[in-house]
Amino acid sequence: MLKVNTDLPIKQNYRDAMARLGAAVNIITTDGPAGRAGFTASAVCSVTDSPPMLLVCLNCASSVHPAFSQNQVLCVNTLASGQEELSRRFGGKTPMEERFAGHQWSVLDTGAPVLDGAIVAFDCRIQRVVNVGTHDVLFCEAVAVARNDGEHHGLIYFDRRYHQLSAY
Amino acid sequence: MLKVNTDLPIKQNYRDAMARLGAAVNIITTDGPAGRAGFTASAVCSVTDSPPMLLVCLNCASSVHPAFSQNQVLCVNTLASGQEELSRRFGGKTPMEERFAGHQWSVLDTGAPVLDGAIVAFDCRIQRVVNVGTHDVLFCEAVAVARNDGEHHGLIYFDRRYHQLSAY
């Protein structure tokens, strides 16, 4: 049965509950006048397909925030199972150039880095930014989309652990 | 390797790519002056925890849109594995009262229906609505959160199929 834990503040209850809403793991990248940057995000979802538009939530206090604000482009690189190390590297305090080392990157239309090993990549222009307290919500039009047709399985973060999903 | 399928329009490529971004499955419910309503959604994500705020994307042309607009409250009920039938029922053309039949529902603070068998439930007040073409993005403050401490596994939709995630 569902229970409300009244011993904890709502913020902690909310965080614990959100840990049980499973989500795909993505590396969000950018490049342009403000330089190359990237971070790990699970707060990504589709908004509409006419035109193709997704959203990404970004903490305004994050070190990568200025790069995304200024470059106005980004790529959502959805990770495959086996790429947990890449998720940790882009989610921690690793210096920016080290984050990108040791993997193959290319570009599609916008110049944002595209991870060759991603399961899918959405190359986007940021069309609109809505501030919600600590975070900005970036509404992004997908101008190019690439899929990996190899034998790739999905990666999901759920219950504070990584899980593998079978693609067939 | 990643490939762009140039034979299809961007809209279809986008839909096919989005199918490989795995996501939790939720039943979004409301109740109030405009009556009880509910629909299945995977486009749900956390925005900030200060205050606890999540977002839900809702098609403006959906039959349930007026109920959510007028009631100004909603509950995000995150499904557990085994609840695929409920996902289909709230995602199809089933008449509203039939959708709610045969399951136990309760309420927390707002009066929106809370599914007793959900893995977690976020009871919310809609604070802000941002229109993005065909869809409204509902920014919702969680005023009460409940967790199911039973042996519940997560449910993920990925590659156009349901998948089970182990909670331990």
A23: nearest Cα among A166, A128, A155, A164: A155
Domains of chain A listed by start with CATH number: 22-161 (2.30.110.10)
- Chains A and B form CB pairs within 8 A to the count of 223
B1-10 mean pLDDT: 90
Q: Which helix (H) or strand (E) holds B154?
A: strand B154-158
CB A75 within 8 A of CB A112: yes
Tokens 């501030």 found at: A131
**Residue B88 distance to chain A (closest CA, Å):** 19
Average pLDDT (B1-8) is: 89
Q: What is the pLDDT of residue B1?
A: 82
Cβ contacts of B58 on chain A, cutoff 8 Å: none
- What are the pLDDT digits (tens) for B16-74? 999 999 999 999 999 999 999 999 999 999 999 999 999 999 999 999 999 999 999 99
Interface test with A, best of B4, B11, B21, B147 (most A CBs within 10 A): B21
| Residue B137 phi, psi (nearest 5) | -100, 120
Which residues of chain B make contact with A120, given a CB cutoff of 8 A?
A: 2, 17-18, 20-21
Half-sphere exposure of B138 (CA within 13 A, CB side): 28
pLDDT tens for residues B68-125? 999 999 999 999 999 999 999 999 899 999 999 999 999 999 999 999 999 999 999 9
pLDDT for A6 equals 87
Structure tokens at B120: 């977690």
Q: Say whether pLDDT at B143 is over 80.
A: yes
Q: Which residues of chain A have pLDDT under 70?
A: 151, 168
- Chosen from A104, A145, A168 to mutate, greatest number of chain B CBs within 10 A: A145
* Six token digits for residue B51: 């205050």
pTM greater than 0.90: yes
Q: Which chain A residues contact residue B23 at CB under 8 A?
A: 22-24, 45
Is the complex ipTM more than 0.90? yes
- For residue B34, the model assigns a pLDDT of 98
Q: In what order do the strands lie in the sheet with A154-158?
A: A161-165, A154-158, A23-24, B23-24, B154-158, B161-165
Q: Which residues pair with B39 in a beta bridge?
A: B28
Predicted pLDDT of residue B151: 63
Give the minimum alpha-carbon distance from A33 to chain B in angstroms, rounded to a whole number.
Answer: 26
Instruction: Identify the pLDDT of residue B6.
Output: 87
Phi, psi of A10 (to 5 degrees): -55, -35
- What ranges in B6-72 are assigned the alpha helix state H? 10-18, 65-71
Ramachandran region, residue B111 (left: φ > 0; alpha: ψ -120 to 50; beta: rest):
left
| CA nearest to B55, candidates A53, A78, A57 | A57
**More confident position, A167 or B5:** B5
* pLDDT for residue A149: 80
**How confident is the model at residue A168, as a pLDDT?**
65
Contact criterion met (CB below 8 Å) for A4 and A13: yes
